[in-house]
A and B are shown apart, each in its own frame.
Chain A
Amino acid sequence: SQQGEEDPQALSIQEGENATMNCSYKTSINNLQWYRQNSGRGLVHLILIRSNEREKHSGRLRVTLDTSKKSSSLLITASRAADTASYFCATDFQGAQKLVFGQGTRLTINP
């Protein structure tokens, strides 16, 4: 399968702690994207990192990409209760016109 796979499937931490989620994939990509989904809602785009980039920041979010290991990580610093959601990585494979989504990491921030 070309699908990205997130790890862990579920993560529960205390408010204020950092949360790290990982994504692995199998074939060459144009870019890798991270999305957030609140329960019962559509997905919201967070960050897009291109294959020639190694790190990207957006506010409290930090994404890294290691194309040699075919993996990416999403770090959320100083977590808040409002960060509770499911987080998905999606890969844009070379030659494709579509994204392939992983199964997601369910993040719970405990107040």
Chain B
Amino acid sequence: SQTIHQWPATLVQPVGSPLSLECTVEGTSNPNLYWYRQAAGRGLQLLFYSVGIGQISSEVPQNLSASRPQDRQFILSSKKLLLSDSGFYLCAWSGGNNQPQHFGDGTRLSIL
């Protein structure tokens, strides 16, 4: 069966520090991969999605970047975190267009 792993579960970082969040999927090949951010009590904002290795689509201009170095690995990065980067970050995968998405357990990021 397919599984998705996202880590760390929580992270506290100072303003101006770098960030790297990792997401890996097992049990499937060539998944679509997604990074979302969720503000407290709100819906999901799509940040990046990828339909293949090295293919990244950015949804909103921001302080973040994403990379897909391997088929089932999706990384969210920042060179310098801002206070506004705080939030709940969720990774998801799907089997393709018109398919359900399957989410990791999320990373709670707090910027001090």
Contacts and interface: CB of A to CB of B under 8 A. Distances in A.
Nearest to A5: B43
Interface in B14-50: 32, 34, 36, 41-44, 46, 49
B81 interface: no
B98 A103 contact: no
Interface string B56-94: 010100000000000000000000000000001010100
B43 A42 contact: no
Contact of B103 (A43, A102, A103): A43
A100 to B, nearest CB: 7
Interface string A56-91: 000000000000000000000000000000001010
A42 B104 CA distance: 6
A100 B46 contact: yes
In this complex, the interface size class of chain A, counting residues with CB under 8 Å from chain B, is 20 to 34
Q: Residue among A48, A97, A102 with the most chain B CB within 10 A? A: A97
B104 A98 contact: no
Nearest to A30: B98
A54 interface: no
Contact of A42 (B41, B46, B100, B105): B105
B101 A97 contact: no
Interface in A7-43: 30-31, 33, 40-43
A36 B44 CA distance: 12
B32 A97 contact: yes
Given A31-B98, A42-B90, A98 B46 contact: yes
Interface of A: 3, 30-31, 33, 40-45, 48, 50, 88, 90, 92, 97-104, 106
